Chains A and B, each alone.
Chain A
């Protein structure tokens, strides 16, 4: 009991120190407006990619439709905050976006999650494209032009808070009865079912939870950038999130953080290269995958508990 409290307090301390560090760097001017935007985008990508990692890395279901759920969150919260441009509207928008996204994921997930591997990938990609095309043609979403003048209610602190919250949500989910059931589906569906695990239920739960966090990412994106259009949520966006997950290491949340940060910084550095930027980016992508096919961190996970245990072992020796 005491031990658990110690670990949890350490994690809390890490989060608080991280916040203060960014705040100080901002105050002394190391982080300028441009760097702050990069930081916020990295944070949003972490939120999106941890959710996708839950689906791909932990439940073993290959989804290529993450951008669709991001779009639902973005549009829902943008419309609500345009109507209620204050903190209350933001909270309401987030909740409504998550709920709607989860609902769509539920309706779509129950039939499609029976599909295997690449068939599931292409079906989820189709779902996301259908969502995008609907946004592209509805009146309320303002068609291809999208929504603009969305009130900026999300600043970097809000994004930081939600990075922490979604990570806690997903990590705590993974390290519980529910997460173990989800991982058993990834490992061996037939064995899991024979152990009394309802595989369809757990696949759908992981998918719905991932979709709900994608909605958070979308809502923050809409609020921070202040304009959204259907084309922001195309196949390429789903692929960009997938790249973060795979490059970090499938099934490693720490890896997702590392990859999101590495790619975010790479993107920032490459801004100076103009048109050569995407060429260098794609070369870096190919090289990383060829030399680290299991991702930067594989399945390695940062663990406070392990550090404490190591420290103690050394102290005893």
Chain B
């Protein structure tokens, strides 16, 4: 079943077309990769899908529980609440807050704690907070981070910061998870860990993942389907094997006549 349907998505910055007429779809519980040379417009496409920038043309629709939901031109927070969560290429944690708070914040829209019950510290407040605390610990445990709950996010090592970003995105209970270069800056060992982690997420959370990545070992290992972007346009789509053989893709990556 198609979960996210993108039709004719275009973004112009002044005279420059960063993303041009991109149509793609993401199915239920699917792991798709988005690849392309530097400057191809991958992050711009992510930003368009998650609402950080508004598309010039085109539509993005999500198959929500209540039927189709049009996402383009909505604010990022409504899109996040609709079930699209993301990580960032250049890690954007809430650095000055604890690991636990980072995850709790992602639960804000799902957390129905009222103003008065928190101000007056009603018993229901403590009950809800305890439940949330337990949920966060459970989530952290899956990623082997339960001992870091009280640490400040900025004090975590680099790899753990990347992992926390993924945990935080998962805490929004997304339908689709967008990962923007999760392996950037990682050594091969860390990348191997990440590969396992991504597989594990897909199995345990049954969600769709769209991944931007330059590390081809990671992409070819985990992706079920690949979209290739060059100069803002989709030039190929298919399984890893198909894409690897596609002459247009080889040309885009190696240049010249292939």
- Physical contact A–B (CB less than 8 Å): yes
Query: CB within 8 Å of B: which residues of A?
Result: 1, 4, 8, 168-169, 172-173, 175-178, 180-181, 183-184, 186-188, 190-199, 299
- Give the residues from 162 to 196 in chain B that come closer than 8 angstroms, CB to CB, to chain A: 168-169, 171-172
B106 contacts chain A at the CB level, 8 A cutoff: yes
Q: Which residues of A contact B123 (CB under 8 A)?
A: 1
Flag B104-122 by CB within 8 Å of A: 1 or 0 each. 1110111101010011110
Q: Which of the residues B75, B113, B121, B172 comes within 8 Å of A195, measured between beta carbons?
A: B172
Taken together as a complex, chains A and B put the C-alpha atoms of A1 and B131 apart, in Å, by: 12
B35 contacts chain A at the CB level, 8 A cutoff: no
Q: Which residues of B contact A192 (CB under 8 A)?
A: 94, 105
Taken together as a complex, chains A and B put the C-alpha atoms of A193 and B94 apart, in Å, by: 12
Taken together as a complex, chains A and B put the C-alpha atoms of A260 and B58 apart, in Å, by: 56
Taken together as a complex, chains A and B put the C-alpha atoms of A299 and B96 apart, in Å, by: 10
B156 contacts chain A at the CB level, 8 A cutoff: no
Taken together as a complex, chains A and B put the C-alpha atoms of A196 and B175 apart, in Å, by: 13
Taken together as a complex, chains A and B put the C-alpha atoms of A309 and B2 apart, in Å, by: 52
In contact, A8 and B77 (Cβ under 8 angstroms): no
Given contacts A169-B119, A195-B80, contact A180 B105 (CB under 8 A): yes
Given contacts A194-B76, A196-B81, A198-B77, contact A4 B101 (CB under 8 A): no
In contact, A184 and B94 (Cβ under 8 angstroms): yes
30 A-B interface contacts by CB (under 8 A): A4-B121, A4-B126, A168-B119, A172-B121, A175-B118, A176-B119, A176-B129, A177-B111, A180-B104, A181-B108, A183-B94, A183-B97, A183-B101, A183-B105, A184-B108, A187-B94, A187-B96, A187-B97, A188-B94, A190-B92, A193-B76, A193-B77, A193-B80, A195-B172, A196-B77, A196-B106, A196-B172, A197-B77, A197-B105, A197-B108
Q: Which residues of B contact A181 (CB under 8 A)?
A: 105, 108
Total number of residue pairs linking A and B with CB closer than 8 Å = 102
Taken together as a complex, chains A and B put the C-alpha atoms of A1 and B125 apart, in Å, by: 10
In contact, B108 and A177 (Cβ under 8 angstroms): yes
Interface of B, secondary structure class, is helix
In contact, B52 and A172 (Cβ under 8 angstroms): no
In contact, B52 and A196 (Cβ under 8 angstroms): no
B93 contacts chain A at the CB level, 8 A cutoff: yes
Q: Which residues of B contact A1 (CB under 8 A)?
A: 123, 126
Among all A-B residue pairs, the 6 with the closest Cβ atoms: A176-B118, A187-B94, A196-B80, A191-B92, A196-B109, A177-B113
With an 8 Å Cβ cutoff, the count of chain B residues facing the other chain is: 38
Q: Which residues of B contact A186 (CB under 8 A)?
A: 96
Taken together as a complex, chains A and B put the C-alpha atoms of A308 and B218 apart, in Å, by: 48
Most chain A beta-carbon neighbours within 10 Å: one of B52, B81, B94: B94
Q: Which residues of B contact A175 (CB under 8 A)?
A: 118
In contact, B119 and A195 (Cβ under 8 angstroms): no
In contact, B105 and A195 (Cβ under 8 angstroms): yes
B50 contacts chain A at the CB level, 8 A cutoff: yes
In contact, B121 and A196 (Cβ under 8 angstroms): no
Closest residue of B by beta carbon distance from A179: B118
B229 contacts chain A at the CB level, 8 A cutoff: no
Closest residue of A by beta carbon distance from B130: A1
Q: Which of the residues B77, B108, B109, B115 comes within 8 Å of A180, measured between beta carbons?
A: B108
